[in-house]
């Protein structure tokens, strides 16, 4: 009873839509055994530009949502992902050449990380902010606020958990993200984009680019409308040059991390993409 | 006679006992510099105050080596309690010598004595008091138990608040257990050198704080020195950008406090007399040599004319003149170079069609002076509305709605500070939420406190100074993480470059930081 | 509005015009009858006061440093602006005569000391004050000494309007040049602004003399009971709208009495009123100003807020008793070069 499969076209995810690269380019994604799996879109600098525009447009709404709401949306991602565990496990099994159990464990870990970060949405500000006892008649409080548009070079040696580990914390505070997927394992990223598109994540909050990080990253690092760049997956690139490019507009920069623990869950990953804002106001009974 | 022509009330210079020349303060002693000495002058008279040593690269090597030795042998091993006691001592000594420091600051910088006496120096003491108490409480700094100091901090400070910026840098660094090499600005080294004498009086162990004087190349050599673990810089965005590029790829952490072009937003229901004072304080405090100065006045269009008229009336009571006169409101511009820059930008404003109004006042014959100036009819595209003038020059723009005010306020690559003036509480909070700036003053302006974090968004730099956040800029989490099962283990790379983030890394776990380079630096230091 | 409508205290004005112009002025500014609604809308439309900023501004003015010649000038100026006051239940003709003697000749050892502006007493003491003053009684702008009487059920103001008016008329009839009335703070705090306005206007009317001239009216806000700066600002506007020639902080019977921030705030109102109408109103901080150092801060505040032209007896006064001796001590120190002592100035 064999049935002829209907393969999926893997495209980019920009501004809530799934466009092909404006350049028309694709590249072959192959299985661990070298078998052809799909033609992924090979994003161009213009796609990166469009993604930044979409991300910038989404910041106000996402940052302006209540923390409770952001937490629910992030949790919703976990819920939807949970419902599609089998699909993701199969995809990972094929592309990474691991056992189904190992692939499934990766999916489970990704889901759990969404849940962990979802729970932080309405708490990190309480931990990272504080009231300041200034010596004067002032109310004074410091709160972490989202940095704005975050560019992320996702970990390159993982299909899903690396991608999620880099993406989720950047979203918690209300930033929007342009994330460049693993070049070798891009399929789960685009499948995850389908999850995001159906999980109440406002369009433009997450934008996923597939293709060559070496080609796209410099454009993101130098883009003046990007506030921070997470080079966690850029260890194989000339990341020092990227950091130098980023310095032109004083971007916040996170360094590459290697190995299976790259982008491990940490509150610091949330606060890294925040700015501490301190507000003073006079106080008096008179 | 006019009562307002208060007789001159100069603060006595007799309290100062300045040396004719000052060396570099390295390893607890004043030593000669190897570069060509330069003189520091009083910007209000252009008179020579003293000769100042000029540190070259070899001197920087010595200073960093001294700081490294002090770190390795003394300071990193000392209990937090004892470090705190040294900081308390310093705070008290600053208080004891407050008047002397204030006079020296006004002499060297040109700022009015009432500001150095009532603002700068008291805050210096407060800063040391605040961080002194942190030294033995670092477990509560927000980085989890047993956070670690970073090592040797290279600190480069500007000329606008010479001693205060020194305090902002040194106090948290020492509290956290770091040692310091600090370079004061070329035009304002004096109080840092008096401060070095205070450190001797406090019997601070040699090498814990080293002060190297010189110009921009001295600072660049310090920042670039491979024995440095942390860079803290306050100054222009251009230099901050260069530093960020220079240290890219290294393990140096950075705090950068850079430029600003703050919007001071005045709504039509503002407490008007206090708003006028706030505008004046916002831009004319310290001759406008303030990175967080409210240099863009955004006034609601329906009260524009009234505000400008009241402002002009108020400005006419400002007294410009001798910085050491207790009645002086506006002192001298710090240097000829800065005066030229203010003039050039101001002229550009006129060329772009803005209307310039300056307080009619007598300008002293010698020294560098610029009368308080307001530009009206300024367009958002004008250079004087976009570039940091760093002088007593206010650009007045208008808005019609809160949304427009926010959009205009945020329409700048900078994001250091902003002001909001309105009687309506809900509007204050909502506007404060949406302003992209690190410090928001509502119905006040230019307030500073050691417990209150200060620092910018965007091109105004990164990291915070002041408060718990400022302490975290000189710490990293303990090298051995918590149980890997608790939070999937991983080193907190997220904290790596982003100082502000460090404040709250309790839940993160860390791997040991590579020590190889640091060991190499120590060797280098030891070889000297 | 223009300068011709200014009604300087004690200066003869065209019979009957003072009140008319005050009312007309109020109507023009308010745009309607001075009832609770119209006044409420107007007073609550005035920009608010940020207390912290106001107090900081006052503190900054207080740091102005006065030296040598300016200080000598300031000390004499303070004396010439003092309403030397005794407002005790125990006041007697003898006490008032002693006060007047001090007012006329503050420092017996130094004839260059100027006279104070006025003596301020309860209404029933007015005849004794006038008698004691003799030829020295007159307009302080001419170097003479006025007699001010507190009236309108001072200090609480808790009595009927009839009694307040009778209290006022009696003092004026006895020869008082100035009436220091209290507003009905209860009515003000309850929002009955029309009532407060009408009482001030009625007292102003009661200040008229048969010859058509009028005693000058100082309106005491009792800022210590109004508590908030917003209230002080509104009450200041209200008192000026209703025709007060002076606005005065306090009775001296309620703490806090005059403070520098409150006085600064009232000066700002006076400045804004002048800007609006061209009409100059005086300000009198009263109570709690005891040292020369403090008084100089007030002079600085006046000069920098409304200008030095306000430092004349018909536009600025200190309501004080012990201040005078401190000024004299300072003055003696400046003259002799050494510090003086309490036994070298007279008690009154």
Q: What helix, strand, coil percent values describe chain B, rounded to 5?
A: 40, 15, 40
- Closest residue in chain A to residue C262, using alpha carbons only: A286
Q: Which residues contact C50 (CB under 8 A, 6 or more apart)?
A: A282, A284, B271, B274, B443, B444
> With 50 as the cut, is the pLDDT of residue B502 above it?
no
Write the residue in A127, A243, A265 that is nearest to B249 by C-beta: A243
Chain C interface with B: residues with Cβ < 8 Å: 47-50, 52-54, 56-57, 63-71, 73-74, 77, 265, 268, 299, 303-304, 308, 311
ipTM field: 0.94
Residue of higher predicted confidence among B9 and B386: B386
List the catalytic residue out of B257, B387, B388, B465: B257
Torsions phi, psi of A29, nearest 5?
-105, 130
Nearest CA in chain B to C57: B277
**Set C83, C139, C167, C180: catalytic member:** C180
What single DSSP character describes residue A224? Answer: T
Beta-ladder partners of B263:
B296, B418
Q: How confident is the model at residue C346 (pLDDT cuts 50, 70, 90)?
A: confident
Residue B257 is a catalytic residue: yes
pLDDT exceeds cutoff 60 at B481: no
Domain C45-336 has CATH 2.60.40.420: no
Residues near C348 by Cβ (< 8 Å), separated by ≥ 6? C84, C86, C98, C99, C101, C102, C321
Q: What pLDDT, on a 0 to 100 scale, did the predictor assign at position B9? A: 79
pLDDT at residue C96, rounded to an integer: 97
pLDDT at position B499 is 38
Residue B39's DSSP bridge partners are B51
Given a cut of 60, whether residue C179 has pLDDT beyond it is yes
Which residue out of B11, B291, B459, B499 is catalytically annotated? B291
User: Which pLDDT score, from 0 to 100, does residue C69 have?
Assistant: 79
CA distance B169 to chain C (A): 28
Convert the pLDDT of each residue in C75-98 to its tens digit. Answer: 999 999 999 999 999 999 999 999
What's the CATH number for A26-282? Answer: 3.40.605.10
- What is the C-alpha to C-alpha distance for residues C70 and B442, in angstroms, rounded to an integer? 38
Query: Could you report the per-residue pLDDT of B318-363, keeping only the tens digit for each?
Result: 999 999 999 999 999 999 999 999 999 999 999 999 999 999 999 9
| CB contacts, 8 Å: C50 with chain A | 282, 284
Contact at CB, A286 and C53, closer than 8 angstroms: no
- CA C169/CA C163 separation, integer angstroms: 10
- Per cent of chain C over pLDDT 90 is 85
- Predicted confidence at residue B127, as pLDDT, reads 98
A168-202 burial: b if 16+ Cβ within 10 Å, else e: bbbbbbbbbbbbbbbbebbbbbbbbbbbbbebebe
The CA–CA distances, whole Å, from B495 to A247, B70, B81, B187, B471 equal 17, 26, 26, 35, 14
Residue C60 has pLDDT above 70, yes or no: yes
Query: Does residue B504 surpass a pLDDT of 60?
Result: no
**In chain B, what residues touch C48 (CB-CB under 8 Å)?**
269, 271, 423
* Residue C15 to residue B295: CA distance in whole angstroms: 54
Residues of chain A falling short of pLDDT 70? 1
- Whole-number percent of chain B with pLDDT over 70: 90
B291 is catalytic: yes
Helices assigned H by DSSP within B36-186: 57-70, 80-96, 98-109, 113-115, 121-134, 162-176
For residue B516, pLDDT beyond 60: no
Taking a C-beta distance cutoff of 8 angstroms, is the pair B110, B429 a contact? no
pLDDT given at position C8: 34
pLDDT above 60: residue B505: no
User: Which residue of chain C is at minimal alpha-carbon distance from B10?
Assistant: C65
- C318 three-class SS: strand
| Residue boundaries of the structural domains of chain A | 26-282
All residues of chain B having their beta carbon less than 8 Å from the beta carbon of residue A272 are 494-495, 498, 501
Task: Say yes or no to pLDDT of C12 above 50.
Answer: no
Domains and CATH numbers, chain B: 31-41+57-258+456-479 (3.40.605.10), 263-442 (3.40.309.10)
Subunits with 3+ C-beta pairs closer than 8 A to A: B, C
């Amino acid at each position: 009873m064999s049935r002829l499969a209907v393969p999926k076209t893997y495209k980019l995810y920009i501004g809530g839509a799934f466009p092909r690269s404006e350049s028309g380019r694709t590249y072959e994604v192959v299985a661990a055994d070298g078998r052809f799996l799909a033609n992924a879109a090979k994003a161009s600098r213009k796609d990166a530009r469009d993604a930044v525009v979409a991300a910038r447009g989404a910041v106000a709404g996402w940052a302006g949502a209540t923390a409770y709401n952001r937490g629910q949306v992030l949790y919703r991602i976990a819920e939807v992902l949970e419902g599609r565990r089998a699909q993701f496990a199969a995809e990972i099994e094929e592309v990474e050449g691991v056992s189904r159990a190992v692939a499934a464990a990766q999916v489970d870990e990704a889901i759990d990380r969404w849940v962990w970060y979802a729970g932080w949405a309405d708490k990190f500000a309480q931990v990272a902010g504080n009231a300041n006892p200034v010596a004067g008649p002032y109310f004074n409080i410091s709160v972490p606020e989202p940095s704005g548009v975050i560019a992320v070079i996702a970990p390159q040696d993982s299909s899903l958990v690396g991608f999620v580990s880099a993406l989720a914390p950047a979203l918690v505070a209300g930033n929007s993200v342009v994330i460049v997927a693993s070049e070798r394992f891009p399929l789960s990223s685009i499948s995850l984009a389908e999850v995001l598109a159906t999980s109440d994540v406002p369009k433009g909050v997450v934008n996923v680019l597939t293709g060559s990080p070496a080609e796209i990253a410099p454009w993101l690092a130098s883009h003046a409308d990007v506030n921070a760049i997470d080079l966690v997956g850029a260890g194989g690139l000339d990341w020092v040059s990227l950091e130098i490019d980023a310095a032109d507009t004083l971007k916040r920069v996170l360094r590459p991390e290697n190995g299976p623990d790259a982008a491990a869950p940490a509150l610091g990953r949330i606060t890294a993409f925040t700015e501490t804002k301190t507000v003073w106001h006079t106080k008096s009974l008179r | 006679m006019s009562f307002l022509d208060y007789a001159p009330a100069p603060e006595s210079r007799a309290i100062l006992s300045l040396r004719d020349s000052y060396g570099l303060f390295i390893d607890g002693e004043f030593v000669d510099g190897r570069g060509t000495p330069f003189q520091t002058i009083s910007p209000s008279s252009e008179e020579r105050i003293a000769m100042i040593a000029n540190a070259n690269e070899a001197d920087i090597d010595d200073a960093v080596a001294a700081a490294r030795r002090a770190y390795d042998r003394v300071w990193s091993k000392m209990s937090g309690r004892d470090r705190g006691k040294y900081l308390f001592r310093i705070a008290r000594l600053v208080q004891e010598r407050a008047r002397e420091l204030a006079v020296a600051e006004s002499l060297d910088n040109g700022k009015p004595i009432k500001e150095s006496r009532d603002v700068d120096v008291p805050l210096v003491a407060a800063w040391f008091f605040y961080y002194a108490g942190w030294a033995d409480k670092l477990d509560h700094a927000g980085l989890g138990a047993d956070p670690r100091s970073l090592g040797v901090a290279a600190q480069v400070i500007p000329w606008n608040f010479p001693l205060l910026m020194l305090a902002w840098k040194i106090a948290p660094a020492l509290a956290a257990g770091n040692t310091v090499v600090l370079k004061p600005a070329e035009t304002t080294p004096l109080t840092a050198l008096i401060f070095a004498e205070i450190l001797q009086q406090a019997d601070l162990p040699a090498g814990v704080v080293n002060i190297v004087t010189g110009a921009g190349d001295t600072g660049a050599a310090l920042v670039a020195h491979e024995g440095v673990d942390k860079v803290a810089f306050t100054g222009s965005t251009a230099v901050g950008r260069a530093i960020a590029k220079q240290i890219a790829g290294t393990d140096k952490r950075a705090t950068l406090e850079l430029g600003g072009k703050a919007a001071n937003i005045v709504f039509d229901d503002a407490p008007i007399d206090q708003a006028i004072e706030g505008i004046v304080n916002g831009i004319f405090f310290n001759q406008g040599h303030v990175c967080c100065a409210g240099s863009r006045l955004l006034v609601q269009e329906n009260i524009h004319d009234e505000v400008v008229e009241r402002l002009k009336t108020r400005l006419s009571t400002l007294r410009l003149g001798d910085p050491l006169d207790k009645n002086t409101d506006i002192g001298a511009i710090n240097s000829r170079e800065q005066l030229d820059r203010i003039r050039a930008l101001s002229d550009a404003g006129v060329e772009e069609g803005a209307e310039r109004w300056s307080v009619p006042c007598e300008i002293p014959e010698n020294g560098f002076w610029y009368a308080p100036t307001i530009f009206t009819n300024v367009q958002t595209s004008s250079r004087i509305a976009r570039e940091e003038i760093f002088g007593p020059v206010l650009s007045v723009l208008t808005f019609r709605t809160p949304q427009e005010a926010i959009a205009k306020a945020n329409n700048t690559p900078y994001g250091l500070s902003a002001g909001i003036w309105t009687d309506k509480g809900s509007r204050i909070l909502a506007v404060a939420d949406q302003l992209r700036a690190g410090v928001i003053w509502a119905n006040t302006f230019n307030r500073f406190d050691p417990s209150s974090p200060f620092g910018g968004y965007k091109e105004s730099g990164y990291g915070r100074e002041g408060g718990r956040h400022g302490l975290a800029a000189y710490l990293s989490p303990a090298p051995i993480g918590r149980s890997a099962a608790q939070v999937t283990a991983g080193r907190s790379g997220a904290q790596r470059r982003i100082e502000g983030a460090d404040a709250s890394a309790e839940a993160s776990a860390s791997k040991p930081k590579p020590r190889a380079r640091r060991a190499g630096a120590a060797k280098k230091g030891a070889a000297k | 509005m223009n300068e011709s409508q200014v009604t300087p205290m004690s200066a003869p004005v065209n019979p009957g015009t003072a009140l008319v112009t005050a009312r007309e002025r109020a109507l023009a500014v308010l745009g309607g009858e001075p009832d609770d609604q119209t006044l409420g809308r107007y007073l609550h439309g005035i920009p608010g006061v940020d207390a912290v900023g106001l107090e900081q501004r006052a503190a900054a003015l207080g740091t102005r440093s006065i030296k040598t010649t300016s200080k000598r000038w300031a000390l004499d100026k303070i004396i010439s602006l003092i309403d030397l006051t005794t407002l005790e239940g125990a006041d007697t003709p003898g006490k008032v005569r002693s006060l007047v003697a001090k007012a006329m000749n503050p420092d017996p050892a130094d004839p260059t000391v100027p006279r104070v502006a006025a003596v301020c007493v309860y209404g029933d003491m007015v005849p004794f004050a006038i008698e004691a003053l003799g030829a020295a009684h007159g307009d302080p702008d001419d170097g003479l000494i006025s007699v001010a009487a507190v009236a309108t059920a001072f200090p609480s103001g808790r009595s009927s309007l009839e009694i307040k008016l009778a209290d006022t008329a009696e003092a004026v009839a006895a020869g008082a040049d100035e009436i220091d009335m209290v507003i009905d703070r209860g009515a003000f705090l309850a929002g009955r602004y029309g009532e407060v306005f009408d009482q001030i206007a009625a007292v102003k009317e009661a200040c008229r003399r048969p010859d058509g001239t009028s005693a000058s009216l100082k309106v005491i806000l009792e800022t210590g009971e109004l508590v908030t700066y917003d209230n002080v600002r509104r009450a200041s506007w209200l008192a000026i709208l209703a025709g007060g020639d002076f606005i005065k902080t306090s009775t001296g019977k309620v703490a806090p009495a005059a403070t520098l921030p409150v006085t600064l705030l009232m000066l700002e109102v006076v400045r804004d009123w002048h800007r609006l109408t061209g009409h100059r109103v005086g300000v009198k901080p009263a109570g709690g100003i005891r040292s020369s150092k403090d008084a100089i801060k007030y002079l600085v505040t006046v000069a920098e807020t409304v200008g030095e032209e306000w430092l004349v007896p018909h536009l600025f006064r200190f309501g004080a008793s012990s201040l005078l001796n401190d000024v004299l001590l300072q003055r003696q120190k400046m003259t002799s070069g050494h510090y003086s002592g309490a036994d070298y100035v007279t008690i009154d």
